[in-house]
Amino acid sequence: MESRNPAFRGNAFGGQGGGYGTPPPQGLQDTYGAPAYAPPATTRPMTYDDVVIRSFLSLLALCVTGALTWAFVPIQTALAIAVVAFLLQLGVGLYISFSGKANAPLVLTFSAVYGVGVGAISHYYENLYNGIVLQAVIGTALAFAGVLAVHSLKIIRVTPKFARYVCAAGFALLGLMLVNFIAAFFVDGGIGIRDGGPIAIVFSVIAILVGCFFLLLDFDSIEQGVRAGAPEKFAWYCAFGLTLSLVWIYLEILRLLSYFRD
């Protein structure tokens, strides 16, 4: 089957027309064991276990740095630390996304830096609203389970058009967040998408749904990668995507819950 992921298109993972011509007669294969032109097997295909293990390591790095930040960073500087960490993780994340060079050092660095921001912002919210972090973690876990069920049951079909719409929605949300951030320097509350009012609640709900759709795209990419025989190293890119989507959902649930606490 042809994958919707550009990384799997063509014949890189064993499709027909690989450019090697027709196989030699069976007699030669029996004599020499394998065609002389066959490329050496430098890596094995990715499996679901590879994705699970690397995703666990990525989330573990995030949780460890988040816990250390929570424990040692004073609450007075938590927001400043969070802003710096989120800017750094944005730079690393963009490099991974556009370069396609997802490996253990890059992904674990991304997760560790992201964890600093997540730990700082979580500590800040927990200081304001006792128990809100646990509620957000439970909500994220339920969202993960729900999206996994939707993917397993094929309730929503992931098509190229669907993927384009989700990506466009994600960029639109990021653009609105940037505009609101800049506007907040001149107008109290910015454009109103983060002030806790009705517009902010609707915005957070939409952001959570878009995060769930990105998670659905991640599941589809993993499935397509395994079926297409993607190399083992692609599992790190899948782990990167899952970590990014899960933290997106967690942070938006955290913010949405804070509106209702207010």
Could you tell me if residue 237 is inside a domain? Answer: yes
pLDDT score for 246: 95
* Nearest partner of 84 among 95, 106, 69, judged by Cα: 69
Q: 15 by DSSP, 3-state: which?
A: coil
Could you tell me if residue 100 is inside a domain? Answer: yes
Could you tell me if residue 204 is inside a domain? Answer: yes
Could you tell me if residue 4 is inside a domain? Answer: no
**Does the CA dihedral 79-168-140-256 come out positive or negative?**
positive
Could you tell me if residue 39 is inside a domain? Answer: no
Phi/psi of residue 253, each to 5°? -65, -40
pLDDT score for 165: 94
Could you tell me if residue 25 is inside a domain? Answer: no
Instruction: Identify whether the C-beta of residue 76 lies closer than 8 Å to the C-beta of residue 51.
Output: no
Could you tell me if residue 9 is inside a domain? Answer: no
pLDDT score for 42: 61
Residues ≥6 apart with Cβ < 8 Å to 56 = none
Q: Which residues does the chain have with pLDDT short of 70?
A: 1-42, 262
Contacts 24+ apart (CB under 8 A), 155-164: 156/216, 158/4, 158/216, 158/217, 158/220, 159/4, 160/4, 163/4, 163/217
CA distance 245 to 27: 53
Q: Which residues pair with 238 in a beta bridge?
A: none
**Does the CA dihedral 170-171-176-179 come out positive or negative?**
positive
Could you tell me if residue 63 is inside a domain? Answer: yes
Q: Which residues pair with 231 in a beta bridge?
A: 45
Q: Which domain holds residue 88?
A: 44-261
**Does the CA dihedral 257-144-221-233 come out positive or negative?**
positive
What's the pTM value of the predicted model, to 2 decimals?
0.80
Instruction: Say how many domains are in the chain.
Output: 1
Query: What is the residue-wise DSSP string for 34-88?
Result: S-TTPPP--SPBP-HHHHHHHHHHHHHHHHHHHHHHHHHS-GGGHHHHHHHHHHH
